[in-house]
Each structure stands twice: as C-alpha cells, then as structure tokens.
Amino acid sequence: MKTFPMFIKMAGRRVVIVGGGEQAAQKTRLMLKTDAQIVVLSDMLDDELAALAASGRITQQRGTISTRDFEQTALVFIATGCPGADSALHGVAKAAGATVNVVDQPALCDAITPSIVDRDPVVVAIGTEGTAPVLARQIKTQVEQMLEPNLGDLAALAGRLRASAAQRLAPRLRRDLWRWVFGDAPRRKYTSGGVREAAQMIKQAIATGDFEHDTGGSVALVGAGPGAKDLITLRGVQRLQEADVIYYDRLVDPEILELARRDAQRVYVGKRPGCHSWPQEKITQTMLASAKSGARVVRLKCGDPGVFARSLEEIDALRDADIPFEIVPGVTAACGAAAAVGQTLTEREAIDTLILTTGHFTDGSAIPNAVKNLSPGSCVALYMAVAAAPAISTYLSARHAADQISVTIVAHAQTDRQIVATCDVASLPATLAQHGIKNTATLLLKLRKNTVPVNSAVPPHTAKTAAFRVAEGAMAHVTP
C-alpha cells in the first residue's frame, strides 16, 4: 500500500477548505457528515456555500491567505478550481505543517478522499490510491446494495449496549452474542422494521446469556488453497474470522492469516520435509486441548485437507475425543498447478483418467505404481516427488513411448515465486536442477490416447503428439 487507510477523529477539530465554487462545495458536503468545525477561505461563495455560512454550519473567512490560516487543522482541502492557484496554496499549507488534499492533483495530496458508504456509525471507505476513481464508485455501488439502510442504527444500538454486555458476559460469550446479533434473528428483525422487538431480544440475551450459540469448542480443517490468498473459499474465510486459535503450516501464504480476527491466536506448526518443527502427534494433541478448553480452532492446511495433508490422523483423534469438527475443502495443488499454466487435467478423447499420487512414501518406495503403470489416456499429478524425480525419470526413460509423455513442472504454484518448466522424462532431473527446484513442486505427467502403452513391446510411433511437440519446443522455459 502506498496509502494507509485510517479513520480520523473529527469531532470539534478544524477543517479548512480553500475555494468558493463547486469543488469546494463537494468537499464541504463530505465534511458536513462529520462533527468538524469547517472554515471556508474565499472572498466569494456560491449559493450553496453562502446558505451554509448564513445558517452557521460553516464559517467563511475572507482576505489574504497565510500560513496561520492552516495551523492547528485536522485536514486542509484546496479546491479553487484553478490548478496554478491550488499548487501555490498547497505550498503555503504545507509550510504550516498541514495535512493537505488538493482536488484532482494526486501528486500534491497527503490524504486521498475515498468513496464512502455511510451507514453511520458504520462507514465503509473505498480507495484506489487515486488510480481508478470510477472503479471505486462501482465498488461503492455494490457495497451500498449489500448493506441495509438502517444497519447503522442497529450498530449504534449495539454500541450503547456494549458496556452492559461487557459487565455480564465472558469474552467468548460476548463474541458469540454480537455474531448472533449481526448474523441472525436480531438483524433480520431489525431490517424488517421490528426495531423494538430486536432491541428487546438483544437486551434479554445480555441479561440471561441465553441465545442461540455453540457453547463448546470445535475444529475446522480448512484448505487454504495452493498459494494465493484469494483462492481460499468464502467458507474458509468465515471460519478464520470466527477462530480463537489458528494452527497453520509452512506453505500457507502469510497474507491468508490477515483474513482472520486480529485477536485470534496464531500458532505456527510448520513442517518441512525431513525436519518437522512440530511432530504430528504434538499438533494433534495441542489442537485437541484448545478445542476441549472451549476454543474455536482452525487447522489451516495448504491445498485441500483431504489430499496428502495427514488430516485423517487428526480427524480420528477428534472423533475419539467427541469434538465437533468440519472439513472445509480447498483448491488442491494439482488443480492450482494446472490452472497456473493454462492446462486442464483431463482432455476429451485424449485424457480420461486423472491420478493424484505422491512421490514420498514412508516405506521408502520411490516410484508410485501409477507411474509404473502409466497408460494412454492418463494424467498423473505427483505431489512431493522432487526427490523421487531421478528414479522416476530413469524408469520411464527405459519404457517404450517415453518420448510421448509430456512433463510439466510447477513450483510455488499461484504465488509470486511461481516457476513453470516443461521437459521430457529423460531431462526431468536436469530441468529441476536448472531452476533450483528442490521441493514445493507439482509434476504433471500426461500420456494421451492413441499412443503406445508404456509397457508395450510394440515399437513406439515415430510421430509425437501435437501437445508434446508444443511442450518440447518450449522445453524448460520459465514463467515468472
């Protein structure tokens, strides 16, 4: 971010607006939504500003403008309508140490006016750092449609009752209360016009602690997706925002954690190949202890929790302890890798079998059976197989039709560190070494139909598939 969004207290503070025309009137209308003291510096005012001055809602100041006019201000808006005059006045205001916004001159702005959705005291500000005001207005329109007109009144009621809730309810119960107020019956009742009924429901809940909510701990096994934070599901985001404790792995994008509540506890349980920061048993037992204490727990895993994520061990422990849990699926690595390079994992009349397998076996095996028995019409997506790549390459290179197997390597898929390379099976280890790929990569092996089976004794066709010719021509290229 080049600009930092922040809400500034304005009650009783001085705001100076320079100009007496339409641009100055626009800024004045905006500031009239606050409790600031508004001073307009201009000898002449248009009819709108003149009426506001006559009613005492703003103060007009005439005469020569100096640095003293900009001292002790919260904000200064310069809006004379003349770019040259605005630039000169900007220098005067900055000499006084003011925070300045110059209309239509982003380079001279310390602060940029956002598009605002006003449901006072609920305020949504949308900014594009001055690059795309039309986009900001489009987003504003969408948010306006999302938020009920009287939502601010419900928020104000909640504000008046917060002290009472703090006195009567424990922290966890308070969070559940406000989640219920804004996500359940009270909000529906308030929105439909039942203001008094909704208020009574909330007051009764505060007095008795009796409202619809979960009292015990729970665990959500959430798939974070293959990398980029915008590939997590909406349900995953919701669980993060509800969580009291989050246990997350090494490959989870740190930006995804920004989607969680600020006061949620974050526990790194990063596991590296061959060097586990936390043994699986410790992760499981610690997660169980948190849930048994009444916490809402999120176990955040890269990709999908059901694909090579050791989730079954955690699920069995949760079942044995009778702790409620749910699985929130995520985009698995194979899908993320294929999408990153514009491929599909299946192809009509060419690939009708998709196999997800691993190159990392606890029994020491190096070559998955899916690779040994690779047949035409198959795509094999290999997880955690970089270390096994030499053995896989040697095995497949000795088979018939090896030259018809296309290989796509995607490392750090869907992140800004993404590396993509294509090669044949013989050059797989060299390609990995060339690009410094040691782990965190997915290998996609494809053998399309109408080719000779890998284990066949029949000599291979001399003609290569069109798709492999493309892959061979782009061999070992890198996509930044």
Q: Whole-structure pTM over 0.75, yes or no?
A: no
**CATH code given to domain 335-473:** 3.30.950.10
Reported as a pLDDT band with limits 50, 70 and 90, residue 473 is: very low
Q: Which residues contact 73 (CB under 8 A, 6 or more apart)?
A: 13, 14, 15, 16, 96, 98, 99
Alpha carbon separation from 443 to 244, 339, 440 (Å, rounded) = 36, 13, 10
pLDDT at residue 474, rounded to an integer: 38
pLDDT at residue 262, rounded to an integer: 85
Instruction: Compute the distance between CA of residue 225 and CA of residue 237 in angstroms, rounded to an integer.
Output: 12
Give the DSSP per-residue string, 29-53: HHHTTTT-EEEEE-S---HHHHHHH
Please determine, for residue 465, whether its predicted confidence score (pLDDT) is greater than 80: no
Q: Is 153 a catalytic residue?
A: no
Alpha carbon separation from 261 to 241, 242, 458 (Å, rounded) = 5, 7, 62
Reported as a pLDDT band with limits 50, 70 and 90, residue 294 is: confident
Strand pairing category for 406-411 and 419-423: antiparallel
Instruction: Compute the distance between CA of residue 177 and CA of residue 259 in angstroms, rounded to an integer.
Output: 21
Average pLDDT of 179-206?
Answer: 93
Instruction: Compute the distance between CA of residue 380 and CA of residue 345 in angstroms, rounded to an integer.
Output: 9
Architecture of domain 14-113: 3-Layer(aba) Sandwich (3.40)
Q: Is 249 a catalytic residue?
A: yes
The domains of the chain are located at: 14-113, 151-208, 218-331, 335-473
Q: How many CA atoms, within 13 angstroms, populate the side-chain half-sphere of residue 42?
A: 27
Could you report the per-residue pLDDT of 50-99, keeping only the tens digit for each? Answer: 999 999 999 999 999 999 999 999 999 999 999 999 999 999 999 999 99
Reported as a pLDDT band with limits 50, 70 and 90, residue 463 is: very low
Contact 87, 105 (CB under 8 A): yes
Could you report the per-residue pLDDT of 121-157, keeping only the tens digit for each? Answer: 999 999 998 788 899 999 999 999 999 999 999 999 9
Q: Residue 218 burial by CB count (10 A; 0-12/13-18/19+): exposed, middle or buried?
A: buried
Q: Of 271, 292, 449, 464, which one is the catalytic site residue?
A: 271
Q: Of 86, 249, 304, 424, which one is the catalytic site residue?
A: 249
Fold of 218-331: Cobalt-precorrin-4 Transmethylase; domain 1 (3.40.1010)
Reported as a pLDDT band with limits 50, 70 and 90, residue 270 is: confident
Please determine, for residue 475, whether its predicted confidence score (pLDDT) is greater than 50: no
pLDDT at residue 279, rounded to an integer: 87
Average pLDDT, the chain: 89
Could you report the per-residue pLDDT of 298-336, keeping only the tens digit for each? Answer: 999 999 999 998 899 999 999 999 999 999 999 999 999
Least confidently predicted of 156-165, 410-419, 456-465 = 456-465
Reported as a pLDDT band with limits 50, 70 and 90, residue 360 is: confident
Instruction: Compute the distance between CA of residue 401 and CA of residue 382 in angstroms, rounded to an integer.
Output: 20
